[in-house]
Amino acid sequence: MTELIGIAQSKSETHSHRLLNLAATAWFVVTTIGQWAFGAYIVAFYGASTASGNLKRWNEVLPHGYVQGDWAGNMVVGMHVLLAAILVLGGPLQLIPFIRKNAPTFHRWLGRIYVATALVVAIGGFVMVWTRGAVGDRVQHISISIQTVYIVIFAILAWYHARARRFDIHRKWATRLFLVVSGVWFFRVGLMCWLVINGGPVGFDPKTFSGPFLTALAVFTYALPVSLALLELYFYAQKSRKRFIVMAAALLMCFVTLLMVIGIFGAVAGMWLPRMR
């Protein structure tokens, strides 16, 4: 896993670098489990309701999901939620070094599909927010719209550098793309972690789905993603010889992973599993 997200480790690997790799591996394993749980929910809920023609069922979750007579809008929503499964199920596979090395053709094709899907889903989501409306307030809508811009730019850069065979740069942009595409997942996991820790809604009104906590969560997952800052710290720490930096990055990743475990548990138990039944 030393090349988990693309940067080869130096030969003189120190204890702190080993800890960093361990933290990155733990983060990646937890992320993969959590994203696949989200993917299983998407397939079981949206896949099953769409396949059986029961599109009204979308509205059990989405306040602006199925609207009778608006076939174009319904198609945008349907494509958004169904194609999202490709992103959350396929994304983690792209980061696994074993697959990149041993199944390069699979990696290339999944990469093309992933980039195209990310563009369609993100732009579709943008259209949904500004035509049909979405839960939450204006700051949340603007924040997630800024994320669409990141997704479009990072998708183009990841694809461009892969085409030019600059694989080190490609891996960095592809990982950044994975993190911004995962923004909606981070938002859900962050929200559920907060609810579990506080034992209920604190810092926001669940009826209007707005308040200071949700404003901060939207800004720091979508508009100014903390995940990207952590990734840059990880890239920096991988090359750093300063023990303090490497240890700080490793411990921070462990802490974030712990919060994610709590959030994923909350999301699976409180949100996804009940809707899959």
First to last CA, the chain: 36
Q: To the nearest whole angstrom, how small is the minimum distance from the Cβ of residue 214 to ligand HEM? A: 12
- Regarding 34 and contact with ligand HEM (CB under 6 A), the answer is no
Binding residue count for ligand HEM, defined by CB under 6 A:
26
> Residues 156-167, buried b or exposed e (16+ Cβ, 10 A)?
ebbbebbeeeee
Q: Measured from the CB atom, is 1 or 273 closer to ligand HEM?
A: 273
Give me the least distance between CB of 53 and ligand HEM, in Å please.
19
CB 218 within 8 A of CB 68: no
Of 184, 180, 145, which is closest to residue 62 (Cα–Cα)?
A: 184
144 touches ligand HEM (CB under 6 A): yes
Smallest separation (angstroms) from ligand HEM to the CB of 199 = 22
The answer to whether 5 contacts ligand HEM (rule: CB under 6 A) is no
Using CB under 6 A as the criterion, what x/- string covers residues 81-120 for binding ligand HEM? x--x--xx-----------------------------x--
Neighbouring C-beta atoms of residue 152, cutoff 10 Å: 17
Which residues here bind ligand HEM, judged by CB under 6 A? Answer: 42, 61-64, 80-81, 84, 87-88, 118, 121-122, 125-126, 128-129, 134-135, 144-145, 147-148, 151, 181, 184
